[in-house]
Amino acid sequence: MALDLPTLMVMQSFALASAGAVLLFAWLQNRTVSALALAGSANVIAAAGILSLMLGVALHQPIWSAVGGGLLPLQSGLIWKAARNIDSKPAPLVVAVLGPIVAGLAGGLLHAPGATLSLAVGAAFSLAIAATLWANRQERLTARWPLIILSTVHGAALLVGMYSTVFGSTGQDAVPALTSMFGFIYFESIVFTLGISVFILALIKERNEVASITAARTDSLTGIANRATFLASAERVLERCRRDNAPVSVIMFDLDRFKAINDKYGHAVGDAVIRKFCEITAAALRPNDVFGRMGGEEFAVVLPGSSTEATCVRADRIRSAFAESCRLVRNYQVNATVSGGVSASATAEETLAALLERSDGALYDAKTEGRNRIKRAEQPRPEDQVSNVFRVA
């Protein structure tokens, strides 16, 4: 079979249908990801659009060309909606289908202007796909960049095709030559279809892997580091402070009478109190500070390069802001408070375990002295510090 434009159109139709089938099958395995169903349907619809264009030329029936002119830009419209869904952005279905329907009707009534409109709508949606993916590039998923490039190139190719149609270099009643601009567009569309399908699957898989890793490292209620992640991060910070001969401080926080809050107001209020504490604490910390949930209502913070005095001031600001914010929680007069203990090492020579232990001791003192206060741990004697190092080791 000779490689002419009709042959290329058959290849494109087959590629579209195959890619659509793969995406729809992937969606059947994970029906929570609607983007797979949208992208798969888009490719199947576009395959039907290619066949409609071929019938329109072969049978000299403008109605088939009109149908094809409406179905092809619908591919880009539905993929645009899929891209918006991937990034959890609103994308009304009517926006994705209205332009292609108008293009199809115009194609049946106006012929050449209709074809131009069909290309323009497809180009607009393709560039909108690239813009949508670009807007959320801070997510740093590798598969996002090929999608942006493919969508941009496809949009540019359709704009070139629109230019070719407007200036009459492409006839409407005959199949263009393989070497024409439309021959390039059909070839580029095959690459676009296969590339979009592959990288949408890759993007969703990559995002799921990132979500799984994040879930394993963070506390599900608050979104901050869980105990294991906190301890690992804190050890790295402590090691860096040792190399730099820099001080390091540790704060242990514990919400006061938290069990009583849960028992009196319910777990929903208790969870709201915990989330409010984490929100206030995270806002008061620096980017290089480490904050984590140790378990229950107990939290820890490691502050590299922070003196004992500065850490006590920061801890007391957190305590004060939390007490003020949690006077009223979900219309209940909760009056939640927090206590804290602070320990520090002037040159980060103490182990993390020793610093946490001293902070916990200061926290215990804050609790016994009336709660809603920050206590500073006593500096260890040199012989205690050496003993701590050997005990932990």
Q: pLDDT tens per residue, the chain (393 residues)?
A: 455 666 767 777 888 899 899 999 999 988 889 999 999 999 998 888 888 877 776 777 767 777 776 777 788 889 999 999 988 888 888 888 877 777 666 655 555 455 677 778 888 889 999 999 999 888 888 999 999 999 999 999 888 887 777 765 544 444 455 555 566 777 788 888 889 999 999 999 998 888 888 888 899 899 999 999 999 999 999 999 999 999 999 999 999 999 999 999 999 999 999 999 999 999 999 999 999 999 999 999 999 999 899 999 999 999 999 999 999 999 999 999 999 999 998 776 789 999 999 999 999 999 999 999 999 998 765 554 444 433 332
Pairing of strands 374-376, 338-345: parallel
CA-CA-CA-CA dihedral for 122, 125, 128, 134, to nearest 10? -80
- The secondary element (H helix, E strand) that includes residue 223 is none
Query: What is the rounded distance in angstroms from the CA atom of residue 325 to the CA atom of residue 387?
Result: 42
Structure tokens at 119: 């290309």
- For residue 332, which amino acid is it? Y
CATH architecture, domain defined by 227-392: 2-Layer Sandwich (3.30)
Query: What is the rounded distance in angstroms from the CA atom of residue 11 to the CA atom of residue 19?
Result: 12
Q: Are 171 and 147 in contact (CB under 8 A)?
A: no
| Annotated domain spans of the chain | 5-217, 227-392
Report the 10 Å Cβ neighbour count for 175.
18
Query: What is the rounded distance in angstroms from the CA atom of residue 261 to the CA atom of residue 218?
Result: 24
Domains 5-217 and 227-392 agree in fold: no
Pairing of strands 332-333, 338-345: unpaired
Query: What is the rounded distance in angstroms from the CA atom of residue 144 to the CA atom of residue 83?
Result: 10
CATH architecture, domain defined by 5-217: Up-down Bundle (1.20)
